[in-house]
Structure 1
Amino acid sequence: MTVSLNVTNATVFTPSNVLVQPVNLALRAGRAFTILGETGSGKSLLTQAIMGTLPDGLIANGEAILDGNTLDLANPSGHRAFWGRKISILPQEPWLALDPTMRAGAQIAEGHRYVGGMTALRARAQARNDLMALDVADAEGKLPGELSGGMAQRVAFAAATTGGARIVIADEPTKGLDIARRDDVIALLMKEIEAGGTVLTITHDLALARQMGGDVAVMLNGRIVEQGETASVLADPAHAYTRRLIAADPENWHKTATRPAIPRDPILTARSLAKRRGGKHLFEALDVDIAAGEIVGVTGPSGSGKSTLGDILLGLLPPDTGSVNRPKAIARTRYQKLYQDPPSAFPAKIRIGTGLDDLIRLHRLDSTRIAPLMDRLHLSQTLLKRLPTEVSGGELQRFALLRALILDPVFLFADEPTSRLDLITQQETIQLLTELAREQNCAVLIVSHDPAIIEHTCDRRLDISRGTSSTGTVPHSHVNFSAVRHIW
Structure 2
Amino acid sequence: MNLLCATDITVQAGVDRLVDPVSLSLPKGRAVTVLGESGSGKSLLAQAILGSLPKGLVASGRLQVGDDVFDPAHPQGNRVLWGRRIAVLPQEPWLALDPLMRAAAQVAEAHELVAAHPAPKAQAYVDLAALGLDGAGDRFPWQLSGGMAQRLAFAAARAGGAKITVADEPTKGLDADRRDDVLALLRQGLADGGLLTITHDLTLAAGLGGEILVMQGGTVVERGPAARVLSAPEHPYTRALVAADPAHWLRRMPAAKTTDVVVAKGLTVARGGRPLFQPVDFTLSPGEILGISGPSGCGKSSLGNALLGVLPYQGEVWRDPTTPRLGFQKLWQDPPAAFPARITLRLGLEDLIARHQIDRARIAPLLDRLKLSPDLLDRLPSAVSGGELQRIALMRALLLDPVLLFADEPTSRLDPVTQAETINLMTSIAKERKMAIVLVSHDRALLHATCDKVISLQMVDTQRCADFRQDHS
SS at match of 1:19: strand
Distance 1:242 1:263 in 2: 39
Distance 1:285 1:428 in 2: 33
The structural deviation recorded for 1:105 is 1.2
- The 1:234/1:277 distance shift into structure 2, 3 A limit, reads same
Distance 1:272 1:114 in 2: 50
**Is the 2:60–2:71 contact (alpha carbons within 8 Å) kept by the matching residues of 1?**
yes
1:270-305 deviation line (CA, Å, top 9, x unaligned): 222232337863224322211111011111111121
Residue type at the aligned position of 1:309 = L
Q: Which has the higher contact order (CA 8 A, sep 6+)?
A: 2
Residue type at the aligned position of 1:462 = I
Counterpart of 2:470 in structure 1 is none
Q: Is structure 2 residue 150 aligned with structure 1 residue 157?
A: no
Counterpart of 2:117 in structure 1 is 118
| Structure 1 stretches of at least 4 aligned residues deviating more than 6 Å after TM superposition | none
Within-5 A mapping of 1:201-212: 201-212=197-208
**Is the 2:269–2:306 contact (alpha carbons within 8 Å) kept by the matching residues of 1?**
no
**Is the 1:283–1:305 contact (alpha carbons within 8 Å) kept by the matching residues of 2?**
yes
The structural deviation recorded for 1:72 is 1.1
Distance 1:393 1:280 in 2: 35
Distance 1:56 1:82 in 2: 20
Residue type at the aligned position of 1:187 = A
1:448-485 deviation line (CA, Å, top 9, x unaligned): 1111111111111111134xxxxxxxx469xxxxxxxx
SS at match of 1:138: coil
**Is the 2:246–2:445 contact (alpha carbons within 8 Å) kept by the matching residues of 1?**
yes
**Is the 2:11–2:59 contact (alpha carbons within 8 Å) kept by the matching residues of 1?**
yes
Within-5 A mapping of 1:221-232: 221-232=217-228
Distance 2:236 2:332 in 1: 33
Distance 1:442 1:11 in 2: 44
**Is the 1:377–1:398 contact (alpha carbons within 8 Å) kept by the matching residues of 2?**
yes
Residue type at the aligned position of 2:291 = G
Q: Alignment length, in residue pairs?
A: 462
Residue type at the aligned position of 2:458 = S
**Is the 1:273–1:283 contact (alpha carbons within 8 Å) kept by the matching residues of 2?**
no
The structural deviation recorded for 1:118 is 2.7
Counterpart of 1:470 in structure 2 is none
Within-5 A mapping of 1:336-355: 336-355=329-348
Counterpart of 1:273 in structure 2 is 267
Q: Is structure 2 residue 232 aligned with structure 1 residue 244?
A: no
- The 1:279/1:189 distance shift into structure 2, 3 A limit, reads farther
- The 1:24/1:280 distance shift into structure 2, 3 A limit, reads farther
Distance 1:278 1:135 in 2: 21
Q: Is structure 2 residue 277 aligned with structure 1 residue 283?
A: yes
SS at match of 2:261: strand
* Structure 1 length-normalised TM: 0.92
Q: What fraction of aligned residue pairs are identical, expressed as a percent?
A: 54
Counterpart of 2:180 in structure 1 is 183
Counterpart of 2:447 in structure 1 is 454
**Is the 1:267–1:292 contact (alpha carbons within 8 Å) kept by the matching residues of 2?**
yes
The structural deviation recorded for 1:138 is 2.2
* Structure 2 length-normalised TM: 0.95
**Is the 2:278–2:457 contact (alpha carbons within 8 Å) kept by the matching residues of 1?**
no
1:147-196 deviation line (CA, Å, top 9, x unaligned): 111001000000111111010000000011110010000011011002x1
